[in-house]
Amino acid sequence: MKKWLKRLLLFGIIVMVLGFLGSLLSRLPVGDRVAVIKVKGAIIEPDRIVSKIQKAKEDKSVKALVLRVDSPGGSVGASQEIYRALEDFKSSGKPLVVSMGNVSASGGYYISAPADLIFANPGTITGSIGVIVQHTELKDLLEKLGIRTTAIKTGKFKDTLSPFRDLTPEEKEYLQKTIEDAYEQFLQAILKYRSKKISEQKLREIADGRVFTGRVAKELGLVDELGNLQDAINRAKQMAGVPEARVFYMEDRRGFIRKLMEEGFEGFGGDYPLMLYYLMR
């Protein structure tokens, strides 16, 4: 048998064995677990986070969820997607604890609000409760460069926020009403779960975009406890009544073959045909 064919067969056998072992292990009882889901960076594409939350809800071995939030915020819609998924998780009766990292502001705080308990470090930056729409106007600069633009549109608001012209007073009024509606939704989302810890009057006083340290946020009632991720995990175990539960980090996982190709053959610089050529020599 040719040398390359032997190597290819060996490679195939290894993949089959690993796949079989993975399938076998997935059927074994895993015991009680506390799941940890990380939300890191801007909240723009919520699908993967929502999917993980749903899996944690459906997994009978998961007795509690810790959401680790390290985000400066993001879009309103994406934050609401995660918020709603967390509400759905809570319907299972499993405890939900949030652990704030370096920053948990704006949308990062939005998705933290449904938690049964919120932990923050004393120096965590949180708050920034508000909504913003920004407009950059380049008309004068482009005119100096001899560049002119024309918009053909179906309605007077269709090119609102275009950088090629000023906003009209009517557009400014329309945008202000839009963000005020989103802002009101933000406030009500917080009050739905934290009205016993911070009054609506107090929330409106401080919800002007300013940020707070974790220590000040605790004094205001925006967070419940000062502590790190491990403190949040320990409390989640206690709340779920599973002190010996294992911690399960729900990281993004790639298929074995893809991971092998991307990481196991770094010497080939990600050149898959080159890798297969050397495998078959």
Residue 260 falls inside a structural domain: no
The CATH code of the domain that includes 189 is: 3.90.226.10
Note the pLDDT of residue 144: 84
Residues near 137 by beta carbon (within 8 Å), at least 6 away in sequence: 163, 165, 166, 167
Q: Is 25 left (phi over 0), alpha (psi -120 to 50) or beta?
A: alpha
- DSSP class per residue in 213-268: EHHHHHHHTS-SEE--HHHHHHHHHHHHT-TTPEEEE------HHHHIIIIITGGG
The domain in which residue 90 lies consists of 31-250
Question: How many domains in the chain?
Answer: 1
The reported pTM is: 0.78
Note the pLDDT of residue 2: 64
Computed over every residue of the chain, the mean pLDDT equals 85
Note the pLDDT of residue 13: 79
Residue 276 falls inside a structural domain: no
Active-site residue set: 106, 158
160-216, pLDDT tens digit by residue? 888 888 899 999 999 999 999 999 999 999 999 999 999 999 999 999 999 999 999
Note the pLDDT of residue 216: 98
The residue ranking higher by pLDDT, 26 or 130, is 130
The residue written with tokens 């605790």 in the block is: 218
Residue 52 falls inside a structural domain: yes
Residue 126 falls inside a structural domain: yes
Res. 252 pLDDT band, cuts 50 70 90: low
The residue written with tokens 């009057």 in the block is: 201
The residue ranking higher by pLDDT, 30 or 216, is 216
Burial of 234 (0-12, 13-18, 19+ CB in 10 A): middle
Average of pLDDT values for 215-232? Answer: 97
Residue 25 falls inside a structural domain: no
100-155, pLDDT tens digit by residue? 999 999 999 999 999 999 999 999 999 999 988 888 888 888 888 888 888 888 88
Residue 66 falls inside a structural domain: yes
Taking a C-beta distance cutoff of 8 angstroms, is the pair 127, 206 a contact? yes
Residue 243 falls inside a structural domain: yes
Residue 103 falls inside a structural domain: yes
